[in-house]
């Protein structure tokens, strides 16, 4: 298996890259602001801003040449935003949607043409449970992830007859750098909102992504990894 992961230098993306590598996959990742981290893990690492179609395409095809092909793409790059709606700006909207939604669109569009020619492929987006449930003070983030979920379901219907599967992992509160802003009390409060009474680990998201990549009869699904939120 040959896999291409955006935002693979840290957090969930790093865990996904390492998990797949541990299962024998050949791995390529992109980085944006974390070059040193990306290059120390031993994966093929390429600079790309997922908001920029041409940069991402260049990274994808360079990775394809290095790996000798790409079977799985994981659209992991994403950013959070915390603000009440009256404080959100047009720039906030553009940054969130261009990263979280356009970034997925860019990767899947690039990969689709390639995968259609080979009549096989697997696309996985890292999404959020807030894309379905919404979240107070995270309306832009939640809306961007809702767009991702709809996009995934639509592409699964569109590409299935070409043996291309499209799914998403919708994360709950995961212990990552993105959530490092949370105080211990806030983490405990979030944990109390789950059936399991704890927040999630990046490795548990990686396990779910690998499951979706390995199971050939799953497509169009948004798999919640949320501890029973």
Q: Would you say 48 and 77 are in contact if contact means Cβ atoms under 8 Å apart?
A: no
Specify the residue for token string 């894309």. Answer: 131
Burial tier of 226 (Cβ tally within 10 Å: 0-12, 13-18, 19+): buried
- What letter does residue 134 receive in the DSSP assignment? -
Q: How many CB atoms lie within 10 A of CB 55?
A: 17
Tokens of 55: 């940069």
**Minimal CA–CA distance to 130: which of 109, 118, 113, 144?**
144
- Report how far residue 6's alpha carbon sits from residue 26's, in angstroms, rounded to the nearest whole number: 14
Burial tier of 198 (Cβ tally within 10 Å: 0-12, 13-18, 19+): middle
First to last CA, the chain: 32
Catalytic residue numbers, as ranges:
141
């Amino acid at each position: 298996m040959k896999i291409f992961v955006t935002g693979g230098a840290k957090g969930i993306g790093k865990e996904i890259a390492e998990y797949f590598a541990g299962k024998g996959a050949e791995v390529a990742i992109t980085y944006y602001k974390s070059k040193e981290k990306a290059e120390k893990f031993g994966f093929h690492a390429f600079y790309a801003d997922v908001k920029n179609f041409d940069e991402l395409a260049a990274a994808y095809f360079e990775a394809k040449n290095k790996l000798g092909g790409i079977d799985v793409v994981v659209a992991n790059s994403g950013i959070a935003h915390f603000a009440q709606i009256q404080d959100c700006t047009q720039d906030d909207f553009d940054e969130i949607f261009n990263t979280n939604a356009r970034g997925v669109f860019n990767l899947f569009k690039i990969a689709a043409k390639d995968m259609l020619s080979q009549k096989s492929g697997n696309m996985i987006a890292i999404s959020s449970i807030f894309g379905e449930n919404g979240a107070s003070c995270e309306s832009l983030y939640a809306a961007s992830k809702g767009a991702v979920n709809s996009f995934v379901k639509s592409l699964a219907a569109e590409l299935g007859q070409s043996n291309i599967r499209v799914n998403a992992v919708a994360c709950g509160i995961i212990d990552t750098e993105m959530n490092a802003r949370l105080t211990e009390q806030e983490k405990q409060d979030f944990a109390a909102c789950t059936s399991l009474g704890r927040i999630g680990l990046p490795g548990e998201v990686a396990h779910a992504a690998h499951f979706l990549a390995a199971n050939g009869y799953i497509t169009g699904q948004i798999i919640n990894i949320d501890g029973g939120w």
